[in-house]
Structure 1
Amino acid sequence: MKSPSECESLKDIRDGIDSIDHEIIKLLGERMEYVLSAARFKPNQASIPAPDRVAEMLLERRQWALQHKLPADYIESLYHEIIQWYIAQQTQYWRTKHSITTGNKGTHKLGNG
């Protein structure tokens, strides 16, 4: 993949963006594996949201955003959404593993189904 300054056409730019997006999606899948694995260490469903941990994470992501010259408010908002979605997935996974059903089977998978 060419660096942005090495790109000689819009196709080069799009190829670079597509490559980065593919990697982001791959990493979100890997993150899901960690999130679901963390359910093993959660003694009950109430322990899943971990608001103190979330607050810590959001502050750290804000700092990372600033280090990379990105808007901290946007990155915090983006990660808030990401984290809430993963919490919902971990909750469903935990409930499934503990035979507590809600009628939404398979929601822990990435994608629409």
Structure 2
Amino acid sequence: MKLPDECCNLGDIRCEIDRLDSEIIKLLGHRLAYVLAAAQFKKSEEDIPAPERVKAMLADRRVWAREAGLSEDFIENLFEQITSWYIATQIEHWQKTRGQVKGASHG
């Protein structure tokens, strides 16, 4: 790992950006694991979107963006996209896992 001011050329910069992007993707995967685990605590599919939680979460992300010197609007938009996809994925997971449980009880 090189700090930005330690990079000697564009190749070094690109290598570090690729390394960071790889870490971000791995972290998104870890986050997804928690999102899917949360499905077990949802009583119904309608509980999954949790709009009040999303609203509070996005407000927190705006604060964190400001503290990090990043655009609050960009980070909010990014997390809206992330959250939207995770909600859809959690709904799909909830339907599959609850469907298996229901199907097993009829068998």
Distance in 2 (alpha carbons) for counterparts of 1:98 and 1:37 = 13
Tell me if 1:91 matches 2:91.
Answer: yes
> Structure 2: which amino acid aligns with 1:6?
E
> Residue 26 in 1 paired to residue 26 in 2?
yes
Give 2:4's aligned amino acid. Answer: P
Q: 1 CA distance for matches of 2:73 and 2:9?
A: 32
Scaled by the length of structure 2, the TM-score of the pair is 0.91
Segments ≥4 residues shifted beyond 6 Å: none
Number of aligned residue pairs: give it: 100
State how far apart, in whole Å, the 1-side matches of 2:7 and 2:26 are: 24
Distance 1:72 1:11 in 2: 30
Displacement of 1:52:
0.7
In the TM superposition, residue 35 of structure 1 has moved relative to its aligned partner by 0.3
CA distance in 2, matches of 1:39, 1:82: 17
**Cα RMSD between the aligned structures?**
0.9
Gaps of 5+ in 1: 101-113
Uncovered stretches (5+) of structure 2, i.e. residues with no partner: 101-107
Matches within 5 A, 1:64-83: 64-83=64-83
Shift of 1:3: 0.1
The two structures have a TM-score, normalised by structure 1, of 0.87
Percent identity of equivalent pairs: 51
Structure whose residues are more often helix by fraction: 2
Structure number with bigger Rg: 2
Deviation for aligned residue 1:98:
1.2
Mapping 1:54-73, distance limit 5 Å: 54-73=54-73
